[in-house]
Amino acid sequence: MGQLSYIAVLVGCLLGSGWLELVLRTRVYRRWLRLVLSVLPVVGVFAVWDAYAIASKHWTFDPLQTSGIFVGFGIPLDEILFFIVVPICSILTIEAVRSARPDWKLPHE
């Protein structure tokens, strides 16, 4: 699998939670602006953090385990996709629980 390993994990995450949109009608994708406004800060903060860590030589990415496509500052495309996919999957999961259990509240609500 090699270079597709990281992408395969992200596809698995999407398959694991993506069906919730259809089956439980979470309406996450219909509220796309809300989703974008939730995910963009995550991408921004973690991309800066990654760029700093790479520049400081705190960590690297194995080119044999990533796509080999870099978006800048040594950050692989796979990593940026991770910052997008994981929050979306998390939001889908939370909204699915709320859909199935309308009485359930987040701790701060």
Consecutive H or E run containing 37: helix 32-55
Taking each helix axis from N to C terminus, what angle separates 77-100 and 32-55, rounded to the nearest 10 degrees? 140
Identify whether the C-beta of residue 92 lies closer than 8 Å to the C-beta of residue 20.
yes
pTM for this one?
A: 0.88
Consecutive H or E run containing 22: helix 5-23
Predicted confidence band at 44 (pLDDT cuts at 50, 70, 90)?
Answer: very high
Percent of residues in the chain assigned helix, strand, coil, to nearest 5:
65, 5, 30
Instruction: Round the average pLDDT of the chain to a whole number and report it.
Output: 92
Instruction: Dump pLDDT digits (tens) for 74-92.
Output: 999 999 999 999 999 999 9
Whether the per-residue pLDDT at 106 is higher than 80: the answer is: no
**Which of the residue ranges 32-36, 67-71, 100-104 would you say has the lowest mean pLDDT?**
100-104
